[in-house]
Amino acid sequence: MKNTKFLIQSAVIAAVYTALTLLLMPFSYGFLQIRVSEALTILPFFTPAAIPGLFVGCLLSNLLGPYGFADMVFGSAATLIAAMGSYMLKRIPIMVPLPPVLANGIVIGAMLYFVYGVQIPLYASILWVSAGELVACYGLGYPLLRYLKKYKNIFELH
Amino acid sequence: MIRDITLGQYYPGNSWIHKLDARIKIIWTFVYIISLFIIQDFWGYIIIVANLVLIIGISGVPLKFIMKGLKPIFFIILFTFTINMFMTKGTPLFHIWFLTITKEGLYNAIFMGIRLVLLIIGSSMLTLATKPINLTDGIEKLLSPWQKFGLPSHELAMMMTIALRFIPTLLEETDKIMKAQMARGADFESGNIINRAKSLIPLLVPLFISAFRIAQDLAMAMEARCYRGGHNRTRMNEMKLHRRDAVAVFFMLVFLGLVIVQAQGLFTMIPGLM
């Protein structure tokens, strides 16, 4: 039961992530992105199934989005790294939303700079993307974490 | 609001491109993107554009439909173009107020602008002409050699398939919850960006609870039917390579060859050509 449940939980997290990204489409992609679904990056705090879940969710969102292949490869890789980081930091709740801000800021900022040729300085590109992530992860993600703590039992794998 | 979303950008069709094996199309897209970065001058774009026109022509996806997909990224194209034009240093062409447009800047702006447009049109051709379900199957197959090194390719593909299946359900669910909360006086549309983000919490918490309830039921149903991972599972549609896939690979190699030859400047060695 445990394996199948883990698999399905990941799949459902991926589906929620993708649904939210698509729902708030214009803000979810690109340079000025505030991807609300990034608030879900706090989920590794509750269940390790969120690590593959967020990875697949990001992969699907970028696959369906307008930015094409590079976003799919780099964006998902950044999310995977971030999710693992969040999982490792789960003992300190306030630090949980930090890895996605850093990983996405650096990877996506660099991607916009190198791949899409946005000619602003590299550090500005990184800061810009991080700012959007900061709003999503701390503005929404962290309060979400505190609310979901009351419903911890839904994440149990039994 | 939710009615407007077409899942992905798949354009249903029955063309030669639609029928190609998803694996071949994914590899094709990789080659296409790499070649965009090999190209160093405007001549190179002729090969890329010719290839793209050919593919769009065969696929029968209307140009209008493709352009619609470009709309959300129009801003970034414009932004890149402007920044490139004003920020590149070189021989000045003319001044507007305090801004100077240089020859190199204009060249760079147009070059990068075209690259960006081609990058996005080219890679969206993959999703336009391939069903999302076939794409995930293709990804699973392409990743399966890594299974030996511990990559759970079957599990990843299964997750993608289930997630794709549940996205419409969840979109509907989100809509319902949104309406229910609005009926209770929730406000999703006013306030500054932080307040707006916070107003999504009464949406997200019930969404999670309902999503995880679905997960619970589905896991139980799968267990009851003895699902135990990828070993020896058969599938409804086996992926098979046909002759058309071989033809596609041949054209891909020709295309890559042309791009490399062009980028190395080998065409200029043929007397009388350029």
ipTM: 0.82
Q: Is the pLDDT of residue B270 over 70?
A: no
Q: Of the given ranges (A50-59, B43-52, B83-92, B100-109), which has the lowest mean pLDDT?
A: B83-92
Q: Is the pLDDT of residue B227 over 80?
A: yes
Residues of chain B positioned with their CB less than 8 A from the CB of A18: 163, 167
Nearest-by-CA chain B residue for A6: B219
Residues of chain A positioned with their CB less than 8 A from the CB of B222: 4, 8
Q: Is residue A11 part of a domain?
A: yes
Q: Is residue A18 part of a domain?
A: yes
The tokens 């997290």 sit on which residue?
Answer: A13
Q: Is residue A33 part of a domain?
A: no
How far, in Å, are A2, A90, B210, B226 from residue B221 at the CA level? 13, 31, 17, 9
Q: Is residue A31 part of a domain?
A: no
Question: What would the two tokens of residue A69 be?
Answer: 């292949």
Contact B204 A56 (CB under 8 A): no
Q: Is the pLDDT of residue A15 over 60?
A: yes
Q: Is the pLDDT of residue B72 over 80?
A: no
Question: What would the two tokens of residue B124 be?
Answer: 């969206």
The tokens 């969710």 sit on which residue?
Answer: A57
Cβ atoms of B255 and B31 closer than 8 Å: yes
Contact A69 B158 (CB under 8 A): no
What domain count does chain A have? Answer: 1
What pTM value is reported for the model?
0.76
**Closest CA relative to residue A37, chosen from A49, A59, A54:** A54
Q: What is the predicted pLDDT for the residue at B264?
A: 80
Partner residue opposite B205 with nearest CB, options A7, A117, A147:
A147
Q: Mean pLDDT over all residues of chain B?
A: 81
Q: What is the predicted pLDDT for the residue at B24?
A: 92
Q: Is the pLDDT of residue B256 over 70?
A: yes
Q: What is the predicted pLDDT for the residue at A67?
A: 66
Cβ atoms of B239 and B141 closer than 8 Å: yes
Half-sphere exposure of A156 (CA within 13 A, CB side): 6
CA separation for the pair B119, A29 (Å, rounded): 16
Q: Is the pLDDT of residue B6 over 50?
A: no
> Could you read off the pLDDT of B16-41 as tens digits, one per residue?
888 889 899 989 988 988 888 888 88
Q: Of the given ranges (A136-140, B77-81, B155-159, B214-218), which has the lowest mean pLDDT?
A: B77-81
> Could you read off the pLDDT of B242-252 as tens digits, one per residue?
888 899 999 99
Q: Is residue B105 part of a domain?
A: no
Q: Is residue B16 part of a domain?
A: yes
CA separation for the pair B188, B155 (Å, rounded): 37
Q: What is the predicted pLDDT for the residue at B49?
A: 92
Q: Is residue A63 part of a domain?
A: yes
For residue B52, the enclosing domain spans 2-61+129-143+150-269
Q: Is residue B69 part of a domain?
A: no
Q: Mean pLDDT over all residues of chain A?
A: 81
Q: Is residue B77 part of a domain?
A: no
> Could you read off the pLDDT of A72-82 as tens digits, one per residue?
788 888 989 99
Q: Is residue B234 part of a domain?
A: yes
For residue A141, the enclosing domain spans 2-25+41-155
Question: What would the two tokens of residue A56 be?
Answer: 């697949």
What domain count does chain B have? Answer: 1
Other CB atoms within a 10 A radius of the CB of residue A86 amount to 26
CA distance A115 to chain B (A): 9
Q: What is the predicted pLDDT for the residue at B53?
A: 92
